[in-house]
């Protein structure tokens, strides 16, 4: 009984989702398609060089949001393979870099498909769930609003409603549609996302594109590693090393003052003890920044929970990893990616609550970070999410962001891996 109730609730939710997708497919994709055409037409005049990057970024947001919904609602993974645009690039550089990206043209081909076929495939599950309500209303007397019983005043499906008898037939047809929705609504919603994947996913050139992306991310990883080594060296030199050198000098002075001035020696000894404690604290912070001990000892889920406890914003963490653990480099990348996303949420979103969800499904570690802030987060333009995307790309991972104006913001990260 409980299972049937959950199934009915799921069907109704899928119908509501289909209705929302139909509105977005028709309205959002149509508006973006018109903006793209106008902006591209204005490139020769120079205006399009400025507007096109913004319009194409909006298209990517629309496509990324659909990728997030596909993964979250129906488990349909739609990989994103956008080429990286350098931060701070001039508008015309961004325009031609984005127009030279095959993923951009897949997005543009998807827009007309989404506003026609996508609209229909999203509307069908919604119609199966909500159209029966009209049949029931007709059966319970709404037919009198449309006819006085002397002529056919309304059609419900293929049933002409002209009186109470035909209205009852309309209600019976509504029952049939409702029963069909129980079985067909989830299938039709999944079909909508499969259609989306057929247009958005990389085609025969996927292998070459992945090689190119992995080459770029490997180069970024090498650069990041070198920069991290320089940071560690600088922190050791300016922090713990300097304190240890000062402590050694203090100990030498203490040795000379032990007999001549015991009071001064005790004062210097206390200062040396304080310096040693501070040096030890700095070393612990440095080690924690390289690889948190809780991550090595207790795994990703507990490490993220410990991270959440240090956040100034209430943060809830849910984890379903099946008791297994990914390889240490994957766990480390996932941990620091979550840390960066949480830091961005605290600094920029204005949220008063954050949710983190970690799951392992279909051979991938999937992490979503959601906040109830003001939205508007984007990948690129110098945002911290660009660094997160590069970090995940080293492991063939992907990042998708859904952040409409006014919020909420959902950042979804996925890393292919095997749990031991």
Q: Tell me how many helices (H) and strands (E) the chain has.
A: 15, 7
CA nearest to 414, candidates 71, 66, 61? 71
CA nearest to 194, candidates 121, 301, 299? 121
Q: Is the dihedral of CA 111, 117, 121, 126 positive or negative?
A: positive
Helix ranges restricted to H, 28-101: 29-41, 47-74, 91-99
The pTM score is: 0.57
Predicted pLDDT at 340: 85
Q: Give 42-61 pLDDT, tens digit per residue.
A: 988 888 889 999 999 899 99
> What gap in Å lies between CA 187 and CA 18, rounded to an integer?
11
CA 87 to chain centre: 20
Detail the DSSP E strand segments found in 229-379.
315-320, 354-361, 364-371
User: Taking phi first (over 0 means left), then psi (-120 to 50 degrees means alpha), and beta for anything else, what does residue 345 get?
Assistant: alpha
What's the fold here for domain 295-416?
A: Heat Shock Protein 90 (3.30.565)
> What gap in Å lies between CA 263 and CA 261, rounded to an integer?
6
Helix H, strand E, coil C: the string for 353-419 is CEEEEEEEECCEEEEEEEECCCCCCCCCCCCHHHHHHHHHHCCCCEEEEECCCCCCEEEEEEEECCC
| Residue indicated by tokens 């495939």 | 121
Confidence check: pLDDT of 169 > 80 = yes
Percent of the chain at pLDDT > 90 equals: 26
Confidence check: pLDDT of 76 > 60 = yes
Task: Answer for the pair 134, 156: CB distance below 8 angstroms, yes or no.
Answer: yes
> What gap in Å lies between CA 134 and CA 408, rounded to an integer?
33
Q: Which residue has the higher pLDDT, 82 or 118?
A: 118
Residue 226 is inside which H or E element, if any? helix 206-235
> What gap in Å lies between CA 34 and CA 48, rounded to an integer?
13
Q: What are the distances in angstroms from CA 208 to CA 104, 202, 204?
A: 16, 10, 9
Predicted pLDDT at 234: 63
Among the residue ranges 11-15, 131-135, 290-294, 341-345, the one predicted with the least confidence is 290-294
Residue 179 is inside which H or E element, if any? helix 164-200
CA nearest to 328, candidates 356, 304, 367, 295? 295
Among the residue ranges 22-31, 58-67, 264-273, the one predicted with the least confidence is 264-273
Predicted pLDDT at 223: 54
Show the tokens assigned to 286: 């440095």
* b/e burial code for range 199-226 (CB count within 10 A of at least 16 → b): bbbbeeeeeebeeebeeebeebbeeeee
Q: Regarding beta strands 409-416 and 315-320, do their DSSP bridges make them parallel or antiparallel, or are they unpaired?
A: unpaired
> What gap in Å lies between CA 34 and CA 39, rounded to an integer?
9
Task: Answer for the pair 58, 12: CB distance below 8 angstroms, yes or no.
Answer: no
Q: Give 86-133 pLDDT, tens digit per residue.
A: 666 677 888 888 898 888 999 999 999 999 999 999 999 999 999 998
Q: pLDDT category, 346, cuts 50, 70, 90?
A: confident
| DSSP assigned state of 152 | -
CA nearest to 370, candidates 342, 337, 398, 406? 342
Predicted pLDDT at 185: 92
Residue 197 is inside which H or E element, if any? helix 164-200
Predicted pLDDT at 81: 75
Distance in Å from the first CA to the final CA of the chain = 37
Confidence check: pLDDT of 328 > 90 = no
Q: Give 182-227 pLDDT, tens digit per residue.
A: 999 999 999 999 999 999 987 655 556 566 666 665 655 555 555 5
Q: Phi first, then psi: give them for residue 293, nearest 5 degrees.
A: -55, -40
Q: What is the pLDDT averaged over residues 140-144?
A: 81
Among the residue ranges 152-156, 253-257, 305-309, 408-412, the one predicted with the least confidence is 253-257
Detail the DSSP E strand segments found in 140-186.
154-156, 159-161
Task: Answer for the pair 105, 169: CB distance below 8 angstroms, yes or no.
Answer: no
Confidence check: pLDDT of 3 > 70 = no
Confidence check: pLDDT of 246 > 90 = no
């Amino acid at each position: 009984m409980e299972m049937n109730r959950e199934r009915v609730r799921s069907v109704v939710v899928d119908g509501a989702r289909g209705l929302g997708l139909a509105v977005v497919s028709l309205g959002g994709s149509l508006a973006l398609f018109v903006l793209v055409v106008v902006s591209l037409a204005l490139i020769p005049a120079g205006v399009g060089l400025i507007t096109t990057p913004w319009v194409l970024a909006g298209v990517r947001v629309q496509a990324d949001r659909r990728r997030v919904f596909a993964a979250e609602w129906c488990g349909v993974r739609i990989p994103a393979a956008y080429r990286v645009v350098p931060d701070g690039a001039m508008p015309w550089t961004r325009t031609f870099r984005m127009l030279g990206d095959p993923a951009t043209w897949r997005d543009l081909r998807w827009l007309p498909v989404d506003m026609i076929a996508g609209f229909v495939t999203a509307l069908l599950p919604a119609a199966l769930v909500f159209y029966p309500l009209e049949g029931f209303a007709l059966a319970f007397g709404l037919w009198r609003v449309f006819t006085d019983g002397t002529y056919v005043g309304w059609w419900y499906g293929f049933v002409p409603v002209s009186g109470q008898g035909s209205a009852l037939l309309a209600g019976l047809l509504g029952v049939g549609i409702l029963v069909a929705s129980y079985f067909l609504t989830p299938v039709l919603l999944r079909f909508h996302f499969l259609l989306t994947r057929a247009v958005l996913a990389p085609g025969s050139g996927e292998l070459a594109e992945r090689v190119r992306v992995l080459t770029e991310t490997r180069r970024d990883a090498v650069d990041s590693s070198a920069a991290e080594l320089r940071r560690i060296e600088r922190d050791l030199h300016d922090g713990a090393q300097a304190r240890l050198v000062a402590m050694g000098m203090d100990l030498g002075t203490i040795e000379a003052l032990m007999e001549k001035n015991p009071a001064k020696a005790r004062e210097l000894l206390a200062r040396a003890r304080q310096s040693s404690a501070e040096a030890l604290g700095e070393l612990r912070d440095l080690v924690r920044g390289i690889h948190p001990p809780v991550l090595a000892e207790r795994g990703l889920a507990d490490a993220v929970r410990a991270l959440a406890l240090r956040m100034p914003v209430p943060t809830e963490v849910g984890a379903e990893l099946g008791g297994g653990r990914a390889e240490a480099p994957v766990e480390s990348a996932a941990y620091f990616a979550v840390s960066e996303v949480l830091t961005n949420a605290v600094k920029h979103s204005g949220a008063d609550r954050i949710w983190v969800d970690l799951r392992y499904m279909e051979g991938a570690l999937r992490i979503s970070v959601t906040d109830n802030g003001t939205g508007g987060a984007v990948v690129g333009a110098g945002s911290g999410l660009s660094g997160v995307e590069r970090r995940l790309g080293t492991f063939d991972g992907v990042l998708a962001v859904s952040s409409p104006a006014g919020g909420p913001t959902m950042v979804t990260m996925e890393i292919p891996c095997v749990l031991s």
